[in-house]
Structure 1
Amino acid sequence: MKAHSFRRVLLCTALSLAPWLAQAATADKTIALSNNYAGNAWRQNMLASWDATGKQAVKDGVVAQVDAFTTAENQATEQAAQIQNLILQGYNAIVVDAASPTALNGAIKQACDAGIVVVSFDGTVSEPCAYRISMNFKQSGVAQMDYLAQRFPQGANVLEVRGLAGVSVDELIHSGIVAGAQKYPQLKIVGTVNGNWSQTAAQKAVAGVLPSLPKVDAVVTQGDDGYGTAQAFSAAGRPTPVVIFGNREEELSWWKQQRDAHGYQSFSISSAPSISSLAFWVAQQVLDGKQFPHDLESPAATVTQETLDASLQGLPKGGIVSQPVSVDDLARLKPAATAAN
């Protein structure tokens, strides 16, 4: 996969508006983002993609106003109240990265009943009236175990680093890890911790559990936690396992350093932060009268041993491997098998 720097992603997002948008009947419409959490690099990059896309759409007269609001630390009750406030403010569409697949459903239904278009992405909601855009997170967990099965055909001890408890993304990736463990019984899960999609939290959590664990051959993760996990093993003086990464520059740079010095091999997978821009365009297009399935699947972004150097080329500090996004990229979305995907 050819990597793009995040700055280049924002530039392409801003410049790639399709000509037929000039005919869009949404010039007077307003769109808001309700985001449940902003405490890691992926979320910051996601918000930056949303901001760049929204500003350009307003400048081009596609919509009248685009805003973003983030709650404190994944609080579902606060996010539900926030959505209710956005309803009262009269937004025509609300895009949601949700704290819970179910806890926001009452507020989501209120928005739909008020004639507001609701598009959830990343952390999606189960309310039927909403649209859902997500990477196949369960399959990303299976893909990690597929990779480890190839690396360790004779078996391996695996540590699982999970994300934020109670969020659908965490549950889905975990279900993929469980399915992979059933598929490959030689891969034994010897411990599980919550890294909260944070390098610092993951390092602390892994450091706390390491003394109770046998030799760990590999670590499966969820994103924004791989580098912190590797640092925990180093600080404990334990051999560095195969850590699966989540496309963050910090992780990929560490991987490259270890590869160049010791031949270290790994694999990296994550959703692209620019999925927020895909969600914006779905909302805008639904407001414009276009029809979409309510469950849509966006492709994962992966980095392999062969594409590591290309993926790092031009990727800035704090960046995440992503793809440029325009309204044309809605064609890349395919119907998802279930609402969970």
Structure 2
Amino acid sequence: MNSVFHARFNCKTLWRFAGCLIGLATVAGPTVQAAEDGIARGPTASYSIAFSNSYAGSDFRKVMVRNWQEIAAQAQKDGLIREAPVVSANNSAPEQAAHIQDMIVKGVNAIVILAASDTALNGVIRDACNAGIVVVVMASLVTERCVYTVDYDWSAMGRVEIDYIAKRLKGKGTLLEIRGIAGDATDQNISDGIHKAVRDYPGLKFAKTVYGNWTASVARKEVALALPSLPGIDAVATQGGDGYGAAMAFKAAGRPLPIIVMGNRQDELALWKQERDANGYETVSVSASPSVSQVGFWVAQQILAGKQVPKFVEVPLVRIDAKDLDAWLATMPVGGAANPSYNQASVAAMIDAATNKTVAPTPVPEVTKQ
């Protein structure tokens, strides 16, 4: 996933968000807020929390790392941690395993992992757990059971897309699916959610599936190659970062623009607004956020501080409906995306929601004067 930006949130009320102009650099903007009575305050000033990232080759991952570094720097200033190093592998599970082994040797207290594989890291993760290190797997999956997991409900993302498409098409239409990276667990989970939801609408049929690698340029190329052999397409189910590329492929082919589910990127939302203003175009946008790294950081810190944390902490997806389009777009510079920032209090509240089996509120923009 790519084409994202970094934002900080400052809120007036619980779980409210203030809009702002934001870019890849750190600037003022919206922050998730929550009551502070759920925060564990055990001593963690001497602790080290490391981030093992499977790769940093996309804008999404680069901003994810930047989000981590910003929140970690503030935590250091506040005396909450000693250090929070980041090491990125080149999308290689063996390389990432070697990085994690080095973190174990260095004696870090917690490791937050965005895993390159759901199975290949199990051995080294087990070594970390056996060494008494807290392991949090973020925005990915591993099958080793000693870890804590911070992730989205990717199947729910697929459900949002298909329910919206079905409503718009009155349950009948021809669809194109754009997937992410072949073999990736997140890609599989989103696609599974899409196809599970489609079973509830027998009138919806997929004409073809292509892989866009969560990248506009790849999606454009793959959709363009597929279009000559396809019938009329009524809607496109996506995974994030591919909506704009898909739209450009349809336009270049001289074909009507179908309902394309967008992925919260600025180029997608700007195109949506342009088409809406010109001819009433309607769609929905839903995606994850690179600031999930901040959730992973604070979950690890709170475990070290003594808070009881369930094995799975769900991060709410960011959904943008037509009524919110202008407000969200106003917060994004060119190349941006919806990217709420999470502080210690908001993540403590998210943990409590997971413990109590309630749903953490979805971020909502609140446009303010600049």
Matched, 1:63 2:81: yes
CA deviation vs aligned residue, 1:42-67 (integer Å, no higher than 9, x gap): 32332221111011111111101011
Tell me which residue corresponds to 2:211: 194
Give the counterpart of 1:46 among 43, 50, 64: 64
Matched, 1:261 2:278: yes
CA deviation vs aligned residue, 1:18-52 (integer Å, no higher than 9, x gap): 69979541111111111113333332332221111
Give ranges in structure 1 of 5+ residues lacking alignment. Answer: none
Richer in helix (by share): 1
Pairing 1:9-20 to 2, within 5 Å after superposition: none
Tell me which residue corresponds to 2:11: none
* Letter of the structure 2 residue corresponding to residue 118 of structure 1: V
Are 1:10 and 1:324, in contact at CA under 8 Å, matched by a contact in 2? no
CA distance in 2, matches of 1:254, 1:26: 46
CA distance in 2, matches of 1:112, 1:9: 37
| TM-score, normalising length: structure 2 | 0.84
Question: 3-state DSSP class of the match of 2:84?
Answer: strand
* Letter of the structure 2 residue corresponding to residue 27 of structure 1: A
CA distance in 2, matches of 1:182, 1:17: 41
Question: 3-state DSSP class of the match of 2:85?
Answer: strand
Pairing 1:129-208 to 2, within 5 Å after superposition: 129-208=146-225
Are 1:17 and 1:327, in contact at CA under 8 Å, matched by a contact in 2? no
CA distance in 1, matches of 2:36, 2:28: 16
Note the aligned Cα RMSD (angstroms): 2.5
How far the C-alpha of 1:289 sits from its partner, in A, is 1.8
How far the C-alpha of 1:272 sits from its partner, in A, is 2.4
CA deviation vs aligned residue, 1:111-136 (integer Å, no higher than 9, x gap): 11111111111113221111101111
CA gap of 1:238–1:187, structure 2 versus 1, over 3 A, is same
Pairing 1:1-341 to 2, within 5 Å after superposition: 4-5=19-20, 6=22, 23-72=41-90, 74-330=91-347, 331-333=349-351, 334-335=353-354
Q: Percent identity?
A: 44
Question: 3-state DSSP class of the match of 2:342?
Answer: coil
Question: 3-state DSSP class of the match of 1:306?
Answer: helix
CA deviation vs aligned residue, 1:284-334 (integer Å, no higher than 9, x gap): 111112210111111111101111001111212222213231111121244
CA deviation vs aligned residue, 1:227-270 (integer Å, no higher than 9, x gap): 11111111222221111011111111111111111111110001
Aligned length: 336
Are 1:163 and 1:196, in contact at CA under 8 Å, matched by a contact in 2? yes
Give ranges in structure 2 of 5+ residues lacking alignment. Answer: 1-15, 358-370
CA distance in 2, matches of 1:245, 1:322: 15
How far the C-alpha of 1:137 sits from its partner, in A, is 0.4
| TM-score, normalising length: structure 1 | 0.91
CA gap of 1:3–1:113, structure 2 versus 1, over 3 A, is same
Question: 3-state DSSP class of the match of 2:341?
Answer: coil
CA distance in 1, matches of 2:346, 2:240: 24
